[in-house]
Amino acid sequence: MTRFSITFAAAALACAAIGITVSSAADPAPAGDNAEVQAQAATQGLAFKDGRYRDKDGKPSPAVTKDYKVDWATWQGFRRYHDACHVCHGPNALGSTFAPSLGDSLKTMDYETFFGVVVGGRIADRGGTKYVMPAFGEDRNIMCYLDDIYTYVKARSNNMADPKTGMPAGRPNGREDISPEAKKAAADCTG
């Protein structure tokens, strides 16, 4: 077990000890969220492909209604972010004393750069503070859901740039049901 794994496990136990939990995938979606989210995705010009919404360039993109109901990928990204990323990057993607705000980072960082940093890691020195992002390219719990994590953080970033868009801090108010495509992709990836 690596030093990072031990540190992460200790952080997860500490969160559990103070009552921070992640919702289960079996949480029911309130009725009507599919239609609302799908209408919002259409308004944004997003296409549904491979179990998630994508922009005109094929990049994963969040669909968030004005009542903060989200597409399945953003919901799954919220869950996965809080499972693996919030320990360092903060509970609402706002950063911490030792990891930068991902919400701020995605205001200028493109999808490919985000993907590359998560897969390969990165060391950055900013104003005398050294940030070390470990590589997660071998971690199925991250890699199988990386597009979903991206859509969640992008929804947070959008809201930070314009509070009338994206998703504010906290849990989404509802979610779209999982599509057969998303269910199959998760099963195929995780084995």
* Sign of the alpha-carbon torsion through 59, 187, 83, 117: negative
Mean pLDDT calculated for residue range 50-59:
94
**What digits encode the pLDDT tens for the residues 110-151?**
999 999 999 999 998 878 878 889 999 999 999 999 999 999
Supply the pTM of this predicted model.
0.81
**What digits encode the pLDDT tens for the residues 12-27?**
444 444 344 333 334 4
Where is average pLDDT lowest: 3-7, 40-44, 143-147, 176-180? 3-7
Q: Residue 33: its pLDDT value, please? A: 78
- CA dihedral 136→177→190→62, nearest 10 degrees, is -20
Q: Which domains does the chain have, with CATH numbers?
A: 31-180 (1.10.760.10)
* 140, HSE (Cβ side, Cα atoms, 13 Å): 7
Report which secondary-structure segment, H or E, holds 151: helix 146-161
The C-alpha atoms of residue 17 and residue 12 are separated, in whole angstroms, by 9
Q: Would you give the DSSP letter of residue 167?
A: -
Mean pLDDT (the chain, rounded) = 84
Count other C-beta atoms under 10 Å from residue 160's C-beta.
21
Q: Residue 7: its pLDDT value, please? A: 43
Q: Helix 146-161 vs helix 72-84: angle between axes, to the nearest 10 degrees?
A: 100
**What digits encode the pLDDT tens for the residues 67-93?**
999 999 999 999 999 999 999 999 899
